[in-house]
Structure 1
Amino acid sequence: MDNKDEAKSSREIVNVPPILSIYRHALRTFDDNFKFEFTTNLGKLKTMMDTLRAEDLGFDKSLNNPGTWEKPNKAPCTYIEVIQNSKMNMSIFVLKPGFKMPLHDHPHMHGLLKVIAGAVRIRSFSEYPLKEAANEIDFAARAKHEAARLAHGVHKRRRLFAKVSNDSVCSANAHTCVLTPTVSNYHEIEALEMPAAFFDILAPPYDTLIEGIGPRRCRYYHVANEISTNLVELQETEVPKCFYCDQAPYLGPILA
């Protein structure tokens, strides 16, 4: 390679858009072929997302304008799909000032959330006591029990104890929040006095199959009982009628 070709190659590496680098690394992170590197790759993915900016995603600045959210019939939340495949979903959510995305779960999923505009209060919970599968046999037994319960039409709404794992205000200069299948798997997100937007990655996506149970379904909850300052009882509820979205196009770099 001569000097001209080497300089061109260096420029190409430097000019890779941050979101494309994040996408490529996320593919590796959530690929079962690299499962023994998962913890390291997840940590690197979080670090890469820590510096992500609205400009890197081609974010429509008009969505930052409070006037946009005062229009008649405007949904309280705008959803922007960045990309989705069998391994993960990458998207942007924009919330109107003062709107709270209801408390919900992420069944057997990992997630990363980075605020890119405005500020939000994030309140997250972990099931208590922590019920992490000790091994594959234990997990299979739990999955079989859940599948049988659903197959027999026994769908009593879930009620569980949960410990507050995070309760903080995050702005665009805050670090990325991470949830796992057991830690911070339940959360609610509230925009403050201005519109707020966050980019997130969920893996696997909702509706993908959990072996022995069925599709991953998002369930909603409310705090039925505050036992102490950091321990609550959650009750599954119907999808809140206040929560609905319109959609906007993704305007950032093409991911491939």
Structure 2
Amino acid sequence: MELVNVPPIVSIYRHSLHTFDDRQKAELMANLGKLKSMMDGLRSEDLGYDNNLKDVSFWRQPNKAPCTYIEVFQNSQINMSIFVLKPGFKMPLHDHPHMHGLLKVISGAVKIRTFSEYPVTQHVDPVEFQVHARREAARLAQGNHRRRKLFAEITSNKVCSENSSTCILTPTISNYHEIEALEMPAAFFDILSPPYDTLIEGIGPRRCRYYHVTNEVSANLVELQETEVPKCFYCDQAPYLGPILG
């Protein structure tokens, strides 16, 4: 029987679907750990990454967006994508409501600062969540959107390059982050589950919300205020050129 080499991104895609399958909830953390290990070895060439995006002069073109988005794969369960940032550009601080995520830098280097809502909790109490969900649903049904204000602990503040390990976020840990490219263009591959805009039971679609730090309480504790989508943050798109998925 002939052995066939499976491209790394295909193996990651398959294991992602397994990891975030609702039938595998009991094994989520073990599967998540394996998925992280698989992503740790991912390289830009595994994704068919266009080397033109690494060229600083490419980002100096007139009207070039500061961020390029490449959709790798998406269904109702997972979103796999690549974000490319121009030199010095910071992706604004944002959240990932009730989502898990993995982020692997594949080109250049970025500074990543992550936050967890304070006090930090490992799990969400189901009863407390349902009470919150009903209140949130009723407020949204009335057309009200009160901007969130919260305390958050800085859980990570580091530079990641293509040789760095994969970063993980959960619904409660490191769920807020901002990502800044350094002196060269930088790209990262990420997996989010469930994707943005999928429904949160009892509340509605997952929306990406943006924040700014309004008060630094201590060296690792800040106050965050929800804000509008920053006007500096907009993307153009490029095609995915890697192995076929799905």
- Classify the TM-score, shorter chain: over 0.9
Q: Report the Cα distance in structure 1 between the residues aligned to 2:156 and 2:121, rounded to whole angstroms.
A: 18
Q: Report the Cα distance in structure 2 between the residues aligned to 1:167 and 1:188, rounded to whole angstroms.
A: 10
- Which residue identity is paired with 2:105? V
Q: 1:76 aligns with which of 66, 70, 82?
A: 66
Q: For 1:151-201, what per-residue CA distance to the aligned partner results, in whole angstroms no more than 9, with x for missing partners?
A: 233322111000000000000000000000000000000000000000000
**CA offset at residue 138 of structure 1?**
2.3
Q: Report the Cα distance in structure 1 between the residues aligned to 2:157 and 2:135, rounded to whole angstroms.
A: 33
Matched, 1:16 2:6: yes
Q: 1:28 aligns with which of 18, 26, 30?
A: 18
**CA offset at residue 131 of structure 1?**
5.2
Q: Secondary structure at the match of 1:35?
A: helix
TM-score by length of 1: 0.94
Q: For 1:50-86, what per-residue CA distance to the aligned partner results, in whole angstroms no more than 9, with x for missing partners?
A: 0000000000000000010000000000000000001
Q: Report the Cα distance in structure 2 between the residues aligned to 1:157 and 1:131, rounded to whole angstroms.
A: 22
Structure 1 residues 134, 244: closer, same or farther in 2, change over 3 A? closer
Query: Alignment identity in percent?
Result: 73
Q: 2:241 aligns with which of 247, 251, 256?
A: 251
Cα RMSD after superposing both structures: 1.0
Matched residue count: 246
Q: Report the Cα distance in structure 1 between the residues aligned to 2:57 and 2:124, rounded to whole angstroms.
A: 51
Structure 1 residues 213, 132: closer, same or farther in 2, change over 3 A? farther
- Consecutive unaligned residues of structure 2, counting only runs of 5 or more, are none
Q: Report the Cα distance in structure 1 between the residues aligned to 2:149 and 2:215, rounded to whole angstroms.
A: 11
Q: 1:64 aligns with which of 49, 54, 59?
A: 54
- Consecutive unaligned residues of structure 1, counting only runs of 5 or more, are none
Larger Rg: 1
Matched, 1:109 2:113: no
Listed as ranges, the matches of 1:191-230 within 5 Å are 191-230=181-220
Q: Which residue of 2 aligns with 1:88?
A: 78
Matched, 1:146 2:136: yes
Q: Report the Cα distance in structure 2 between the residues aligned to 1:162 and 1:239, rounded to whole angstroms.
A: 20
Q: Secondary structure at the match of 1:175?
A: coil
Any conservation in 1 of the 2:107–2:161 contact (CA below 8 Å)?
yes
Q: Report the Cα distance in structure 2 between the residues aligned to 1:163 and 1:186, rounded to whole angstroms.
A: 10
Q: Secondary structure at the match of 1:102?
A: strand
Structure 1 residues 139, 132: closer, same or farther in 2, change over 3 A? farther
- Which residue identity is paired with 1:170? C
Q: Report the Cα distance in structure 2 between the residues aligned to 1:173 and 1:83, rounded to whole angstroms.
A: 24
- Which residue identity is paired with 2:176? Y
Q: Which residue of 1 aligns with 2:174?
A: 184
TM-score by length of 2: 0.98
Q: Secondary structure at the match of 1:255?
A: coil
Q: Secondary structure at the match of 1:184?
A: coil
Any conservation in 2 of the 1:133–1:139 contact (CA below 8 Å)?
no
**CA offset at residue 136 of structure 1?**
2.3
Any conservation in 1 of the 2:55–2:185 contact (CA below 8 Å)?
yes
